[in-house]
Amino acid sequence: MTGQIGTNGVTNPWKRYDLRNRYVLKGKIVMQTAFHIGGGKGTLSNSDSPVVLTPEGLPFIPGSSFKGSLRSTIEKLVPNLPETAGLRTCGLLDKSKEEFKRLKAQGMDREVCPTIPVRQADITQLRRENPGEEDAIQDMVFGQLCNTCLLFGSPYAAARISISDLYITDTEWGSIIQRRDGVAIDRDSEKAKDRLKYDFEVVPASTTFDMEIMLENVTPQDLQLISIGMSEFVHGFGVIGGKRSRGLGVCLLEGLKVQGLELVGDDITPQERNQRLRDYLLERKFSREQDGEEFLDEHINKIFG
Ligand SMILES: [Zn+2]
């Protein structure tokens, strides 16, 4: 089974570490409304729901939180794209055991992304029943992952995207964390519970953060997915943090710039590759620099091409 092409059209070319490309996307996230990313316990705040802060007491956006927002933004759009683009997403939505059983009986279980919990259980069983076949099973599973799992990661594949924590641009930030009142709602009656008022903290609107995303060994499909996600943030449809139904967390991505180090391609000779890698290692010189708009145009057009 080794080397077999999966339903996602890829083999698993990166068994041995091989640097094929690297992209760095930089820009500023400007909050259009206040936002709330919970900091949990262990902060000095006496609020019922404090926001996450750096040890210096400044608000920040954890990279994992931004990654989650970006992933769900992309997952919502993928099912609407033309089928010819060949982009699939499982949206991390589980299926019932009955439905999976029915699909399996029809030989369609391989269409279910391996990340989906009911399929994971099935793969675990397959491994148990076929000791010594781990490599072949891993190849098969990798070949069936959906495009968002390949980019953002899954228990069967490392993510090709990494996002640093987003720190505040203006370190002289003079604003203060605001406190808002909420009312706990009884889910059954949908009425406010007596005496169940609570408060939560928000970081005020117009606070600005530096964003940096790194992509490594991405495919053209990965770049298309990233581009539709970035485009949503550029046009003000990106949302981060919690309590979104209250209109919190709306943000805008400004000043997007993309740097790329491309080491593999039809027009890249071994000499050219070595030159590019050398320039990168010695001077951090990328083989490509693009404005956000140009980058988004290039990759989004390919989806509809
Ligand atoms: Zn998936």
Q: Could you tell me the distance, in angstroms and rounded to a whole number, from the CA of residue 75 to the centre of ligand 1?
A: 10
If you measure from the C-alpha of residue 267 to the centroid of ligand 1, how many angstroms do you get, rounded to a whole number? 32
**Residue 271 in tokens:** 């000499």
- pLDDT for the residue numbered 44: 67
What is the spatial distance between Cα 154 and Cα 156, in angstroms, rounded to a whole number? 5
Confidence of residue 174 (pLDDT cuts 50, 70, 90): confident
Ligand 1 centroid to Cα of residue 88, in Å, is 8
CA distances from 243 to 116, 187, 294 (A): 26, 16, 34
Rounded CA separation 117/172 (Å): 46
pTM (two decimals): 0.87
Tokens representing residue 20 in the block = 């094929």
Contact 74, 233 (CB under 8 A): no
Residue 266 Cα to ligand 1 midpoint, Å, equals: 29
CA–centroid distance, 292 to ligand 1, in Å, is 27
CA of 101 to the centre of ligand 1 (A): 19
Residue 2 has a pLDDT of 41
Q: How far is the CA of 144 from the centre of ligand 1 (A)?
A: 9
Say which residue the tokens 């391996």 belong to: 114
Ligand 1 centroid from CA 234, angstroms? 25
Cβ-count burial of 292 within 10 angstroms (0-12 exposed, 13-18 middle, 19+ buried)?
buried
Quick one: pLDDT at residue 245? 84
The alpha carbon of 165 and the centre of ligand 1 are apart by a number of angstroms equal to 24
Between 188 and 260, the more confident residue is 260
| Residues surrounding ion ligand 1 at CB below 5 Å | 90, 113, 115, 146, 149
pLDDT tens digit sequence for 186-229: 666 666 555 577 888 999 999 999 999 999 999 999 999 999 99
Per-residue pLDDT tens digits for 84-131? 999 999 998 888 999 999 999 999 988 899 999 999 999 999 999 999
Residue 195: CB partners within 8 Å, gap ≥ 6?
none
Question: Residue 252 is encoded by which pair of tokens?
Answer: 């805008």
Distance, in Å, from the CA atom of 225 to the CA atom of 303, rounded to the nearest integer, reads 9
CA of 122 to the centre of ligand 1 (A): 15
Torsion angle (degrees, nearest 10) of CA 146, 150, 156, 161:
-150
Structure token pair of residue 125:
């069983």
pLDDT tens-digit map of 186-197? 666 666 555 577
In this prediction, residue 1 carries a pLDDT of 36
Distance 10 CA to ligand 1 centre (A): 14
How crowded is residue 19: how many other Cβ atoms within 10 Å of its Cβ? Answer: 14
Phi, psi torsion values for 299, nearest 5 degrees: -85, -35
